[in-house]
Structure 1
Amino acid sequence: MTSSTVRARWAARFLFFACGFLFATWGVHIPTVKAVYGLGVGAIGGLVLAAGLGSVLGLTQAGWLIARHGARRVAWWGALVSAVAIALLLRMPNLVLLWLLLGLFGMASGLLDVAMNADASELERQAGRPMMSAFHGMFSLGGMAGAGVGGLLISAGVAPDLQLLAVALGNVLLVAWSVRQMVPLAPQPETAPAGRFQLPRGRLALVGLLAALGFVVEGAMYDWSVLFLQTERGAPQQQAALAYASFSAAMAATRFVGDRLRARWSAVGLLRASAGLAAVALALVLLSGSVPLALVGFALVGVGLANVVPVLFSAAAQVPGVSPAHGISAVASLGYCGFMVGPSIIGFVAHGSSLTVALGLVVGCALAQAALARRALRD
């Protein structure tokens, strides 16, 4: 292995880590934003929506931008703009500009997401073996580190403005080195005209549907697992918080061994087993009245979901007649729509019945993912 290859792989790991760290920083400081601007829950929801809409815009445009300017340049500008947006998070003079800033943050993050995944796909192709899961493990590790560092700095009384500026500068420095080590993407046919996003069809649409189903399950864990233990099982807040912690920690740990699983199992077999495990584990959570057993169940959901995105993004990068950037862009866009819409639907269903019933629909999403795996990922 050449030194340039080693540097390129570490650069990809650092990109995923930096992206996860930045996302976690935004999440940690949502209460800070609420306090500084004097916002209610509805306004915070609007900011989250702005970031989500910006992400979809970035994801849908990333394919042709990478084809025209290269993954290296798109990754750099995506990382730079998202870091600047974090640095300015508490300095907006009014809510409209704050909303636009969060939309810009989401868009830049979406561009970075596709660029770094296209880079990871190219490294995987050159190596001739699975590598995507470990890269996504670095994203999870970055998220955990960002949340941990943010919590420590808040406890230490460090001014939030200084925290955000330090995170932004650290990310820019890390990314500045990383993008210089990125490998050029292999030439691929382009099927989408520049400046246009075409809805995926055929195999790519099925892969995108599987991504959307998987992101519905993942989004449900992010948004509803803690509340489920509090309201449905009567767990105290500090114990209920372990629901998300157990899920995310298990997902991160599994991703670091995921490439070994991908090397031994077919994509269809691994996705079926992963989605099936997530469905069974979540059903265990819903049927059990025990909080400790529920925490084990949430951890197993994390194990089941750990390899879903790496498997699907690798598949999207290998669809014949479609460049890796366009494939990942299309699948990520559909997947993120599931991430945004799914938790909202769960909330509406829970309002009309119960959170247990609503999360039962999520079990159905995981089962549907397992059922469609062969059709979408056949060789």
Structure 2
Amino acid sequence: MTSTLSADLRSARLATRLQFLAFGFITGSWGAHVPSAKAHYGLSEAQLSVALLAAALGAVACLLKAGAIVQWLGPRRVVQLAGTTACGVLASVLLPSSGQGAPLAMLPLLLLLGVFGAATALFDVAINAEGSLLETRGGLKVMSGFHGMWSLGAMGGAGVGGLLLKAQVPPLWQLAGACAVAWGVILAAAPRMLAEHPPAEHGEGGPRRWTALLVLLGLLAAAGLVAEGAIYDWSVLWITQDLQQTQSVGAAGYAAFAGAMALARFGGDWLRTHISAPRLLAGSGLLAAAAMSLALLSHSAWVAVPALAVVGAGLANVVPILFMAASRAPGVAPAAGIAAVSSLGYLGFVAGPPLIGGVAHASSLTGGMAVLVVASLVLAWGARRLPR
């Protein structure tokens, strides 16, 4: 019985690593093509921020019930449904459309990104619920490593996108191919995930009340996602526009951030074992703030690209720390705790894109990216209130 359970856990861990990898690959592919969508639809920076806001709103709306959905269907079924939806929608974002630049031209993009945000948020909760249960059952810290696979996938998606852009492969073909690969991995890995999860402690799959711990974790997650979102949504455009580099160089900066984050997350389980969560979170925030400040003040791509890698290392373990704490919140099922904290955390994505776009419209995108520095300092300040 024990050997069978161990074999099942090992198989589920591999399947979950692949799910995180596929999810990261989708995210990285989209991040590399935010400028492609901007050009395809003829959007200004303000309009692009609205489009990115639609994805965040779709995510937040879905997160209100994500815990209950994951608890009802189980992570295995959810990743199949949500993964299929996310891949299908993203592959359609750059399909030919008429009236680029006209007010109504944004409507298809807004709808697509809204559904994309909802599907990816549901997928995110499902794989994190799976990861938290695997860490609890196996007695081995694995969550940071799972998130490392996500970052590795994001680096791969952005890196491949940059190479294909340099080779002048049409962006539509790139996104379609990336989504086909990710979808195949998702469907192949899903049957090896855990068959059952513990039942929800509450009938609705969520907490009866918001505790101070969930609110704290959610607000810190919001700060962390503002910082990450600034890189994923704006870094390529910042490098190409304000630093006057090619889109392939912008994708390289994005890939450097994601690659360093992946490496730091693969060592994150060791760090979480030997360093208390408050100290690790505080150090992470300070490192990210210092590196991004250097990148913004240098006005040089030679400094910005490696600095983004340091930012990635700094932010690497923020989400694993907060999500594991959420999965162990008293009186809440793991999926519900993660969904609750994610719902507040995704407010960072809701507030981040229009805030950065507004600052960029008023001054420059370099000024808008300074929001990342502020968010990282908030993480460092709030870390001392995190339970050990």
| Pairwise same-fold verdict (TM > 0.5) | yes
Deviation at 1:374, TM superposition (A): 3.1
Residue matched to 1:378: 387
Instruction: State whether structure 2 residue 211 is matched by structure 1 residue 207.
Output: no
Partners of 2:261 and 2:308 lie apart in 1 by 10
Q: Which amino acid is 1:40 matched to?
A: L
Residue matched to 1:181: 192
Question: 1:248 is paired with a residue of what secondary structure?
Answer: helix
Residue matched to 1:51: 55
Deviation at 1:367, TM superposition (A): 2.6
Gaps of 5+ in 1: none
Residue matched to 1:146: 157
Q: Is the 8 A contact 1:199 1:330 kept in 2?
A: no
Give 1:71's match in structure 2, choosing from 67, 70, 75.
75
Partners of 1:30 and 1:127 lie apart in 2 by 39
Partners of 1:126 and 1:159 lie apart in 2 by 46
Deviation at 1:291, TM superposition (A): 6.0
- Structure 1 stretch displaced more, 42-51 or 119-128: 42-51
Partners of 1:260 and 1:289 lie apart in 2 by 35
Give 2:292's match in structure 1, choosing from 282, 285, 288.
282
Residue matched to 1:137: 148
Residue matched to 2:340: 330
Give 1:128's match in structure 2, choosing from 134, 139, 151.
139
Partners of 2:384 and 2:184 lie apart in 1 by 43
Q: Which amino acid is 1:114 matched to?
A: V
Q: Which amino acid is 2:322 matched to?
A: L
Q: Is the 8 A contact 1:51 1:104 kept in 2?
A: yes
Gaps of 5+ in 2: 99-104
Q: Is the 8 A contact 1:192 1:198 kept in 2?
A: no
- Structure 1 stretch displaced more, 238-247 or 61-70: 238-247
Deviation at 1:35, TM superposition (A): 5.7
Deviation at 1:357, TM superposition (A): 6.1
Alpha-carbon displacement from aligned partner over 1:131-157 (angstroms, at most 9, x marks no partner): 111111111111122223334445556
Partners of 2:359 and 2:39 lie apart in 1 by 30
Q: Sort the Cα spacing of 1:338 and 1:156 in 2 relative to 1 into closer, same or farther, 3 A.
A: same
Instruction: State whether structure 2 residue 27 is matched by structure 1 residue 23.
Output: yes
Q: Sort the Cα spacing of 1:132 and 1:346 in 2 relative to 1 into closer, same or farther, 3 A.
A: same
Q: Which amino acid is 2:178 matched to?
A: V
Partners of 2:316 and 2:117 lie apart in 1 by 23
Partners of 2:289 and 2:351 lie apart in 1 by 19
Q: Which amino acid is 1:179 matched to?
A: A
Residue matched to 1:318: 328
Deviation at 1:340, TM superposition (A): 3.3
Alpha-carbon displacement from aligned partner over 1:260-286 (angstroms, at most 9, x marks no partner): 111111212211221122233334445
Higher relative contact order (CA 8 A, sep 6+): 2
Q: Is the 8 A contact 2:256 2:305 kept in 1?
A: yes
Question: 2:204 is paired with a residue of what secondary structure?
Answer: coil
Partners of 1:224 and 1:26 lie apart in 2 by 12
Give 1:40's match in structure 2, choosing from 40, 43, 46.
43
> What percent of counterpart residues are identical?
44
Q: Sort the Cα spacing of 1:192 and 1:45 in 2 relative to 1 into closer, same or farther, 3 A.
A: farther
Q: Which amino acid is 2:387 matched to?
A: R
Deviation at 1:115, TM superposition (A): 0.2
Residue matched to 1:264: 274
Give 1:107's match in structure 2, choosing from 100, 118, 141.
118
Q: Is the 8 A contact 2:20 2:127 kept in 1?
A: yes
Alpha-carbon displacement from aligned partner over 1:151-187 (angstroms, at most 9, x marks no partner): 4445556565554444333333221221111114542
Aligned residues: 374
Question: 1:172 is paired with a residue of what secondary structure?
Answer: helix
Q: Sort the Cα spacing of 1:246 and 1:330 in 2 relative to 1 into closer, same or farther, 3 A.
A: same
Deviation at 1:214, TM superposition (A): 1.3
Partners of 1:353 and 1:31 lie apart in 2 by 20
Q: Which amino acid is 1:81 matched to?
A: T
Q: Sort the Cα spacing of 1:304 and 1:32 in 2 relative to 1 into closer, same or farther, 3 A.
A: closer
- Structure 1 stretch displaced more, 197-206 or 211-220: 197-206
Q: Which amino acid is 1:84 matched to?
A: G
Q: Sort the Cα spacing of 1:174 and 1:220 in 2 relative to 1 into closer, same or farther, 3 A.
A: closer
Partners of 2:233 and 2:169 lie apart in 1 by 28
Give 1:303's match in structure 2, choosing from 303, 313, 316.
313
Q: Sort the Cα spacing of 1:265 and 1:186 in 2 relative to 1 into closer, same or farther, 3 A.
A: farther
Alpha-carbon displacement from aligned partner over 1:186-230 (angstroms, at most 9, x marks no partner): 425434736x89884310110011111112222333455566667
Deviation at 1:44, TM superposition (A): 4.4
Q: TM-score, normalised by structure 1?
A: 0.85
Question: 2:267 is paired with a residue of what secondary structure?
Answer: helix
- C-alpha RMSD over aligned residues: 3.2
Q: Is the 8 A contact 2:155 2:254 kept in 1?
A: no
Partners of 2:346 and 2:189 lie apart in 1 by 25
Q: Which amino acid is 1:277 matched to?
A: L
Instruction: State whether structure 2 residue 245 is matched by structure 1 residue 237.
Output: yes
- Structure 1 stretch displaced more, 245-254 or 292-301: 292-301
Deviation at 1:336, TM superposition (A): 1.8
Partners of 2:318 and 2:69 lie apart in 1 by 26
Deviation at 1:236, TM superposition (A): 4.2
Q: Which amino acid is 1:89 matched to?
A: V
Q: Is the 8 A contact 1:87 1:168 kept in 2?
A: yes
Q: Is the 8 A contact 1:133 1:310 kept in 2?
A: yes
Residue matched to 1:60: 64
